[in-house]
Structure 1
Amino acid sequence: MILPIAASTFAGAFYFSARLVSAAAPLRLLDRPNTRSLHQQPIPRTGGLALLAGMAIGMLLMTLTTIALPVWTIGFILAGLTPLIWVSFLDDYRGVAARWRILIHSLGAVSLLAAGLAPDRFELPGLSAPLPLEVSIVLTWLFVVWMINLYNFMDGMDGFAGGMAVVGFLALAALGWADAGFALFCVIVAAASAGFLTHNFPPARIFLGDTGSTALGFLAAACSLWGDRAGLFPLWAALLVFSPFIVDATVTLARRLLRGEKVWEAHRSHCYQRLVLLGWGHRRTVLVEYALMLACAGSAIWAVRQSSGGQLALAILWLSIYSILIWGVGWLERRQATLSTA
């Protein structure tokens, strides 16, 4: 049943993306180039609606299967997702004050807490300890709100956010394959993202907009917590899967804070943005990022079946790799600056 539902979801997202790309589309919200943009021409930013429409088709078909579905969990996830979609669409349409956006993001976190998805243990490769309820609630709120926002921050390059969603949610499905309901939910998100990605791969003809990027960030957080609490995989495995986004966004935020910059202002300081500006272009940069995503996803799937020693060694390896990659982007910038002044 999974393949027909995935195919229908993909087809729905593909169809609605194509309709919204058209100049004759009933809804035309354009993303116009600004100081943060990496594109030169106005592009429709309604792709998130197409992705969500594809997801809706998949969710409806999911209810017709004989697969046992965790209705309680899915209900709370959708309850948190719905107001997020509305406020993000309004933000795409006319702008919404940051305080109202954060309030809705926080309500999304509350919905996941109400579903009982807050982790009860702090786990890292080779380390596991009980997590007090109060600490778990605060960390869950921070995690959900940060995932929503970082996914929005990272949606600045053709094919990037959609590609992360396809790889990320397929990896979560593989990690949680023992639970057919969980796996199907993740496959639906991945299939809808793939349908959208066909129109977003460089050169993009449509963007996710805040509607799509915040929804994917929320769903990434929700499915990561869900898989952890269901005992399907440890939370750190999901963090490794989405680490291409998490590391870039978190390190960039920390560096901007240390430099005393106004972190709420638009910028082009993310590693992927800096590579595009170095002349790599969207296609080359996103293909390199895809390779990184696949490596992270593959190693996470491999690691959950290894001993704690193997998992710890993998964690050290990825810390080293990311340190080298971040340093490497800076080295490329310094090298180009030296060549341009020579």
Structure 2
Amino acid sequence: MLYGIAAATAALLLAAVLAAVFRAPALRAGILDRRWQRPLPLLGGLAVVAVTCLVAGVGEWSRVAPLGEGVGDLLTAAAAVAGLGLVADVWRLRTRVLVAGTVVAAAWVVPYDETGVPGGMLAVGWIVLASLAFKGLDHADGLAGTVGVVTAFGVGACAAAEVMDGLAVLLSVVAAALTGFLMHNWHPARIGLGACGSLFTGFLLSSAVVFTRAGYELGPSVAVVFCLSAVAVADALLVVLARTVARRPLLRRGPDHLAHRLRRLGLTPQGSVVLLGAASFSSVLVGVLVHAGWTGSRAALWVAGGAVLVVLVLVLLRSPAQPPRPTTSTQVSGRLRVRNG
């Protein structure tokens, strides 16, 4: 317990410091996300990955908080996926390369002895989809980090219920590292998570869920897995439906994610993140309750129904895919001359 608190505190402070330190090198090296109105450096994810691996490695090496069977391999695979994401941040890899690398990493960490081969294949597919869906959450300042913190605490609670102490400590370290990163990522963000950090977080959290649910029946496991990642799944579903309806390429970036549409409905950047963070907390809480057996798996149907309803409403509203262009002073004066003429 004491080591978990000390490790989380160290992770929070180190991530906050490293995120600040990495900002200047990212700007000088041109490792930027140019989707925003301002260039956003993308080495914040590297800070989260480095701190998580360092703190967890110290606990394993000192044997004060050993990770446990399979958890070390999970962290190694997540770090490898993060490395692939870092390459994507620097050189813009194709999505198919990221998918292939995530598939290999997921296939390596799934506990087939407990899931069986068919269940293991489903788990691999889920880890890949969840990792990419979480990467999609990195479309607004603070969103991916906020959802990641909430989800990490939820999955950590499930791991603690299964007496997986090493995995629970690792997830608390991830949550603390993301919190330290959020000090620089809250709107207006000074540094971003990037593919490195978002893929790492999504892969680690989804793999940890598979570890905690291995050996359980498929139906309740699906309910828990969905609840623990409902916001990421809803965002991915919204993007797929909206781009399909608009006949736009699925893999092309665009401002059609959850936070984008909430902002066009009148919410502030901070307000949209707080709302989605609250939604994530609610769904994660249901997932933890179902996992602990304090409520039935049918409770997940309410979460699924709410997610589907929100997605359908946002799609049917047909809010514009592109935000309105700002009106310049020249355009305003020209319009006034036309009206006065």
TM-score, with length taken from structure 1? 0.82
Q: Tell me the residue number matched to 1:319.
A: 304
| Displacement after TM superposition at 1:241 (Å) | 1.8
Report Cα offsets for 1:54-91 as digits up to 9, x if no partner.
21232123222434531x41232133223322221111
Q: Which residue of 1 aligns with 2:203?
A: 218
Residue 80 to residue 271, structure 1, CA distance change in 2 (3 Å)? same
Q: Tell me the distance in 2 between the aligned counterparts of 1:234 and 1:60.
A: 30
- Confirm or deny that 1:304 pairs with 2:287: no
Which stretches in structure 1 are left out of the alignment for 5+ residues? Answer: 34-38, 121-132, 336-342
Match of 2:143 among 160, 164, 171: 160
Alignment map for 1:13-92 (pairs within 5 Å)? 13-22=15-24, 28-33=30-35, 39-63=36-60, 64-70=62-68, 72-92=69-89
RMSD of aligned residue pairs (Cα, Å): 2.7
- When structure 1 is superposed on structure 2, of 275-284 and 145-154 the one drifting more is 275-284
1:135-165 Cα shifts (integer Å, max 9, x gaps): 3243222212212211111210011000111
> Does the aligned pair in 1 maintain the 2:223–2:300 contact within 8 Å?
no
The answer on 1:9 being equivalent to 2:11 is yes
For residues 117 and 236 of structure 1, the distance between their equivalents in structure 2, rounded to whole angstroms, comes to 22
Q: Which residue of 1 aligns with 2:334?
A: none
CA distance in 1, matches of 2:302, 2:20: 41
Q: How does 1:228-247 map to 2 (within 5 A)?
A: 228-229=213-214, 234=221, 236-247=223-234
Q: Output one character per residue of 1:199-242: Cα deviation in whole Å (capped at 9) or x when no partner.
A: 111111110011111111111221111111276x9453232021
Question: Please, which runs of 5 or more residues in structure 2 have no aligned partner?
Answer: 321-341
Q: 1:199 aligns to what?
A: 184
Question: 1:334 offset after TM fit, Å?
Answer: 6.5
1:274 Cα deviation (Å)?
1.1
Question: Does 2:134 align with 1:138?
Answer: no
**Which one has a bigger Cα radius of gyration?**
2
Deviation at 1:305, TM superposition (A): 4.0
Residue identity in the other structure for 1:300: G
User: How many equivalent pairs are there?
Assistant: 313
Letter in 1 for 2:45: G
Alpha carbons of structure 1 residues 301 and 140: separation in structure 2 relative to 1, 3 Å: closer
Distance 1:91 1:334, change over 3 A: closer
Distance 1:116 1:202, change over 3 A: same
Structure 1 residues 98 and 281: CA distance shift in structure 2, 3 A? same
Tell me which moved more, 218-227 or 313-322: 313-322
